[in-house]
Amino acid sequence: MKKFAKIAALAGVSVMMLSSTALAGDTFKIGTIGPLTGAGAAYGNAVMNGAQIAVDEINEAGGINGAQVEFKAEDDQLDEEKAVTAYNSLKDWDMQILLGTVTSGSCLAVSTEAAPDADNIFMLTPSGSQKDCIAAGDNEFRVCFSDPDQGSASAIYIGEHGLAEKVGVIYNSSIDYSKGIYATFRQEAEEQPFEIVAAEAFTNGSVDFSAQLQSLKDAGAELVYLPFYYDEIAVVLKQAKDMDFAPIWFGVDGMDGLLTVEGFDQSLAEGCILLTPFSADAEDELTVNFVTKYQELYGEVPNQFAADAYDGMYILKAAIEKAGATPDMSASEISDIVKVAMTEISVDGLTGTGMTWNADGEPSKSPKTVQIQNGVYVGME
Amino acid sequence: MKKQKLRSNLITYGIVLAAYVIVQALIAADSLSSMMKGLLVPLCVYVVLAVSLNLVVGISGELSLGHAGFMCVGAFSGAFFSKCIQDVLTFSPLRLLIAMLIGAAVAAVFGILIGIPVLRLKGDYLAIVTLAFGEIIKNVMNIFYVGIDGAGFHFSTQDEFALNLAADGRMIISGPTGITQTPKDATFTAGIILVLITLFIVLNLIDSRDGRAIMSIRDNRIAAESIGINITKYKLMAFTISAALAGAAGALYAHNLSSLTAKKFDYNTSILALVFVVLGGIGNIRGSIIAAVLLTALPELLRGLSSYRMLIYSIVLIVMMLFNWAPKALEWRERNLGRFFKTSPNK
Amino acid sequence: MKFLSYLINGISLGSVYAIIALGYTMVYGIAKMLNFAHGDVIMVGAYAAFACIMNASLPPYAAVLVAIVVCTVLGVLIETVAYRPLLSAASSLAVLITAIGVSYFLQNVVLLIFGANAKSFQSVVSLPNLKLADGALNISGVTIVTVISCILIMLALTAFISRTKTGQAMLAVSEDKGAAQLMGINVNGTIAVTFAIGSGLAAIAGVLLCSAYPSLSPYTGSMPGIKAFTAAVFGGIGSIPGAFLGGLLLGIIEILAKGYISTELSDAIVFSVLIIILLVKPTGLLGRKMQEKV
Cα separation values, B123 from B43, B130, B308, C99, C288, Å: 29, 11, 35, 17, 14
Chains that touch B (3 or more CB pairs under 8 A): A, C
Best residue of B278, B279, B284, B328 to probe chain C, by most C CBs closer than 10 Å: B278
User: C113 in contact with B at a CB cutoff of 8 Å?
Assistant: no
Cα–Cα distance between B218 and B216 in angstroms, integer? 5
- Asked if the Cβ–Cβ distance from C282 to B122 is below 8 Å, we say yes
Considering just the CA atoms, what is the radius of gyration of chain C in Å?
A: 19
B257·A75 Cβ contact <8 A? no
Q: What percent of chain A has pLDDT over 90?
A: 66
Instruction: Tell me the CATH architecture of domain B2-336.
Output: Orthogonal Bundle (1.10)
Answer whether C138 sits within 8 Å of A244, measured CB to CB: yes
CA distance C173 to C181: 8
- Contact present, C33 and C27 (Cβ < 8 Å): yes
Q: A164 with A260, same domain?
A: yes
Contact at CB, C263 and A238, closer than 8 angstroms: no
From CA C72, how far away is CA C193, in angstroms rounded? 9
- What is the count of residue pairs from A and B with beta carbons less than 8 Å apart? 116
What number of other Cβ atoms are within 10 A of residue A326's Cβ? 16
Contact status, residue B99 vs residue B82, Cβ threshold 8 Å:
yes
Residue range of the domain that includes A270: 148-276
Looking at residue A115, its pLDDT comes to 94
Would you place residue A116 in the very low, low, confident or very high pLDDT band (cuts 50, 70, 90)?
Answer: very high
Selecting from B125, B132, B279 the residue whose C-beta is nearest the C-beta of C97 gives B279
Cβ B145 vs Cβ B158: under 8 Å: yes
One domain, residues A61 and A156 = no
Strand partners, A172: A202
Residues C227-256: pLDDT tens digits? 888 898 889 888 889 999 999 999 999 999
Q: What is the ipTM of this complex?
A: 0.90
Q: Per residue in C93-110, pLDDT tens?
A: 889 899 999 999 999 999
Instruction: Give, to the nearest 10 degrees, the angle between helix A80-92 and helix B34-54.
Output: 150
Residue from the list B38, B159, B261 with its beta carbon closest to the beta carbon of A88: B38
pLDDT value of residue A251: 93
Check whether residue A120 and residue A183 sit in a common domain: no
**Coarse DSSP helix, strand, coil percentages of chain C, rounded to the nearest 5 percent:** 70, 5, 25
Count the domains in chain A: 2
B222-247 burial, b for 16+ CB within 10 Å, e for fewer? eebeeeebebeebbbbbbbbbbbbbb
Which residues, listed in sequence order, are joined to residue A75 by a DSSP beta bridge? A34
Task: In whole angstroms, give the CA distance from residue C235 to residue C278.
Answer: 10
Angle at B172 between CA B167 and CA B177, to 5 degrees: 110
Residue A253 is part of a domain; what is its CATH number?
3.40.50.2300
- The 3-state DSSP composition of chain B as helix, strand, coil percent (nearest 5) reads 75, 5, 20
A66 lies in the same domain as A100: yes
pLDDT tens for each residue of B95-149: 999 999 999 999 999 999 999 988 888 877 888 899 999 999 998 998 889 998 8
Indicate the length of chain A as a whole number.
381
Report pLDDT digits (tens) over B194-216: 999 999 999 999 999 999 999 99
Confidence of residue A36 (pLDDT cuts 50, 70, 90): very high
Chain segment C15-36, per-residue pLDDT in tens: 999 999 998 888 888 888 888 8
- Residue C174 CB neighbours (<10 A): 20
Look at A235 and C116 and tell me if their CB atoms are within 8 Å.
no
Same domain, yes or no: A112 and A175: no
CB contact at 8 A, B272 and B66: no
Put simply, the answer to whether C116 touches A44 (Cβ < 8 Å) is yes
pLDDT band per the 50, 70, 90 thresholds, residue A20 = very low
- The whole-number pLDDT of residue A279 equals 82
What is the residue extent of each domain of chain B?
Answer: 2-336
A243 has pLDDT over 80: yes
Question: What mean pLDDT, rounded, does chain B reach?
Answer: 90
Mean pLDDT, rounded, for A234-244: 89
Task: Inspect the interface and report whether the beta carbons of C117 and A39 lie closer than 8 Å.
Answer: no
Please report whether residue A13 resides in a domain: no
CA B276 to chain centre: 10
Does A242 contact C129 at a Cβ distance shorter than 8 Å?
Answer: yes
Is residue A17 domain-resident? no
**Minimum mean pLDDT among A19-23, A43-47, B260-264: which range?**
A19-23
Q: Which residue of C has its CA nearest to B133?
A: C271
CA–CA–CA angle B132, B285, B38 (5° rounding): 80
Judge if A212 and A266 occupy the same domain: yes
User: Shortest Cα distance from A258 to chain C (angstroms)?
Assistant: 10
Give the pLDDT band (50/70/90) at residue C151: very high
Residue A271 and residue A154 share a domain: yes
A85–B42 C-beta distance less than 8 A: yes
For an interface test with B, give the residue of A4, A94, A108 to mutate (most B CBs within 10 A). A108
Q: How far is B257 from chain A (nearest CA, A)?
A: 6
- Read off the pLDDT of residues B11-51 as tens digits, 9 standing for 90 and up: 999 999 999 999 999 999 988 999 999 999 999 999 999 99
Q: Cα–Cα distances in Å, from A205 out to A172, A173, B144, C54, C215? A: 10, 11, 20, 25, 11
* pTM attached to this predicted model: 0.91
Q: What DSSP character marks residue B73?
A: H
Q: Is residue A312 part of a domain?
A: yes
Q: What is the CA radius of gyration of chain A?
A: 21
Tell whether A304 and A358 lie within a shared domain. Answer: yes
Please state the rounded mean pLDDT for residues B226-254. Answer: 95
DSSP state of A268: G
Neighbours of A40 (CB within 10 A): 23
* pLDDT tens digits along A47-100: 999 999 999 999 999 999 999 999 999 999 989 999 999 999 999 999 999 998
Nearest to B132 among C28, C112, C274 (CB): C274
- Asked if residue A3 belongs to a domain, the reply is no
Q: What are phi and psi of B232, to 5 degrees?
A: -60, -45
Torsion of CA C20, C25, C27, C30, to 10 degrees: -170
Q: Which residue, A215, A245, A276, sits at the end of a domain? A: A276
Whether A259 and A154 share a structural domain:
yes
Which pLDDT value is given to residue B318?
Answer: 94
Beta sheet of A27-34, edge-to-edge order = A68-75, A27-34, A97-98, A122-125, A140-142
With contacts defined as CB-CB under 8 Å, which chain C residues touch A4?
Answer: 113
Can you state the angle between helices B123-141 and B267-280, rounded to 10 degrees? Answer: 140
CA distance A319 to B98: 45
Distance from CA of C263 to the nearest CA of A (A): 5
Q: Look at residues C261, C281, C277 and name the one whose alpha carbon lies nearest to residue C269.
A: C261
